[in-house]
Each structure stands twice: as structure tokens, then as C-alpha cells.
Amino acid sequence: MTVDAATLIRRDLYPLDEPGNPKCGDIAARAKVDLDRDQVCVFEDFITEEARLQMIADVMAILPEAYPNRSHRTCFLNQQPDPALPDDHPKNIFFDASYRMMAYDLFDPASALPAFYGWAPLRDFVARVLGEDRLYLNADPYQPANVLCYGDGDRSTWHFDRGNEFTVTLMLQEPKAGGIFEIAPEILARQDDASADMAPLAAVLNGDKTNVISVPRAPGSLVIFRGDRSVHRVSPIEGDRLRLMAVLVYEKEPGVMGRPEVNATVYGPRVAQGAA
Ligand SMILES: O=C(O)CCC(=O)C(=O)O
Ligand SMILES: [Fe+2]
């Protein structure tokens, strides 16, 4: 039987299926202020403890199938240097990233995370916070909801998201130490602007924290962030408890799918069939 998503959410705090409830309007309005200022907003205690433990159990059961994704890349996700630019230009500063990536098709569609992802009141709430009329589910077989699994020494180094103006994450499990999400709000006005002043971005990449916010995220927190102009990272994970982070992808149009060659790099050779 499909899990009833309404039972997963702390509806005492977030009555999302009662959009006329003034609590929803207040929460969305406050979150929008944070999002506009910091490019990130946090909703603590979003899911019940039972839901969180169930989602963790589901993830652990399919962990061996997750793809160990390792990359050496710039913050723009390029894997090659740009010889026309100086060595200290952000396009020539490389970092290593590593984590295991759990694709959407690995989950039982009737289980908790797919039910949570597909729950229309959640999507409508995210749209309200973002100031969008409505949002749609991603139509790709692999991308709609993933879980990033970070073990000891894993990290997601500084990067801008590509193709997604915003990202929704749900923290399932915290590591013993490390694994802090850090973001430099609107450090670039546009990723593709060759004339942009790169100095503030270069400072962040070189360890300057002046423009960086650390976002505390307790297990069960839902987070919305705009990652396309705000470089962000997850600091190295320490210890033997995995950091498990669900990433939900909503779209501004219906029917959006990923490019097969991108999916092959993100999810591994098993999805490479059909890739260019
Ligand atoms: O794991 C996280 O907290 C953030 C992941 C991330 O950067 C992303 O999904 O774009
Ligand atoms: Fe990201």
C-alpha cells in the first residue's frame, strides 16, 4: 500500500493540506524573507520521527545500489581547465567531490520518500515560498528525488547548481561531525557573465568566510535554496554515521527530463544506455 504522505509531515506545525490556514501563509511569508536575503530558508521538524526513521531504513536497504560518484571539478562543474585564463581564476580552481548517489528509480514508488515528493500540498507550499504560480514534478526516471549519501571523508565541494534555479532538500541523518552546508549568497550575478567580478568568488574558494553563511540543519529539516548564483558546499564528513540528504527536484514546466549523458555521469554506467 502506498504510504499516505499526509502522515509523514508534522502537520501540527505545517498544515500544508489546509492552504487557507493562516499558519501556512505566515510560515511561507517568513521563509520568503529568509530566501530573498540569504538565498536559503529552513523549516525545522518538517517530518515526523517515524517518517524519518522509515526513510533512513528504506535508504539503507538499497545503499549497495547507490552510485559512488567521484569528480574533480571546478565550482562551475567543469572537468577541464581554461588555458586562456590565469591559474588562480575560479574556472581553473579544481576540487574533489565524493558521495554516493541514490537515483529515484531505486526506491519503491509506494514508499515514504516518493510519496513525500509527490504530495501536491508540499509542491504548492514550495511554489508559494518561491513566489511561483505552480510547480511540476520532474519527469525523468532517475532525477525527481535522490538521496545523497556521504560517508567518512566524503564531501561536495564548492559548486553552483546548473539547470535548477532552486533545490529542496530534506535532511534524513546527520553525520557525527562535519557535513556542514555553507553558501555564499548571490556571489555571482550570473554564471555565464564573462565580465563579472570574480574576486569575491575567488575569495570564497580560497577559504575566506566573510560572505559565507553556515546553515544549521537538524535531522528532519526541509531546506529550500537557490544554488545557481550562490556557490555552496558540504564540508567533509567525519565519522562512521552517514550523512543522508534527500534532494527533491521540482520544475516550472511539466515534462522536464534530464539529458542522458548528464544522467550517466551522475548515476553511473547502469543508466548510460541511450546516452550520447
Ligand atoms: O547535500 C546537501 O546539503 C546539498 C547538496 C547540493 O548541493 C545540491 O543538491 O545541489
Ligand atoms: Fe548544489
Q: What is the pLDDT of residues 87-103, one digit of tens each?
A: 999 999 999 999 999 99
Pocket residues: Cβ below 6 A from ligand 1 = 148, 156, 161, 167, 169, 181, 227, 232, 234, 245, 247
Q: Which residue's CA is the closest to the ligand 1 atom numbered 1?
A: 245
Distance from C-alpha of 132 to C-alpha of 126, rounded to nearest angstrom: 8
Choice among 1-5, 24-28, 169-173, 188-192 with the minimum mean pLDDT: 188-192
207-224, pLDDT tens digit by residue?
999 999 999 889 999 999
Q: HSE on the CB side for 203, CA within 13 Å?
A: 11
| Residue 240, pLDDT score | 95
User: Which ligand has the shortest distance to the CA of 229?
Assistant: 2
Cα angle, residue 222 at apex, residues 168 and 106 outer, rounded to 5°: 60
* 44 pLDDT more than 60: yes
d(CA 22, CA 20): 6
Would the pLDDT of 195 be above 60?
yes
pLDDT at residue 71, rounded to an integer? 93
The pLDDT of 230-240, averaged and rounded, is: 96
- 223-259 as b/e, with b when 16 or more CB fall inside 10 Å? bbbbbbbbbbbbbbbeeeebbbbbbbbbbeeeebebe
* Pairing verdict, β 67-73 and 95-102: antiparallel
User: Is 175 exposed, middle or buried (CB count within 10 Å of its CB: 0-12, 13-18, 19+)?
Assistant: buried
Inform me whether the pLDDT recorded for 60 exceeds 70. Answer: yes
Nearest to 167 by CA among 30, 53, 35: 35
Would you state the pLDDT for residue 35?
A: 97
Going from the Cα of 5 to the center of ligand 1, the distance in angstroms, rounded, reads 23
Nine-digit cell at 125?
507550499
Distance 22 CA to ligand 1 centre (A): 31
User: From CA 228, how far away is CA 252, in angstroms rounded?
Assistant: 15
**Per-residue CA distances from 57 to 45, 67, 89, 199 (Å):** 19, 18, 43, 44
CATH number belonging to domain 5-270: 2.60.120.620
Q: Which residue matches cell numbers 500500500?
A: 1
Helices and strands, counts by H and E, the chain:
6, 15
For residue 58, what is the enclosing H or E element?
helix 49-62
Residue 122 contacts residue 28 (beta carbons within 8 Å) = no
Cα(247) to centroid(ligand 2), Å? 10
Q: What is the dihedral of CA 174, 170, 107, 1, to 10 degrees?
A: 110
| pLDDT score, position 274 | 55
pTM above 0.75, yes or no: yes
Give the closest residue (by CA) to ligand 1 atom 10: 161
Q: Which atom of ligand 1 is nearest to the CA of 223?
A: 3
Q: Which ligand is nearest to the CA of 234?
A: 1
pLDDT value of residue 275: 52
Whether the per-residue pLDDT at 273 is higher than 80: the answer is no
pLDDT beyond 90 at 17: yes
Q: How much is the mean pLDDT over the chain?
A: 94
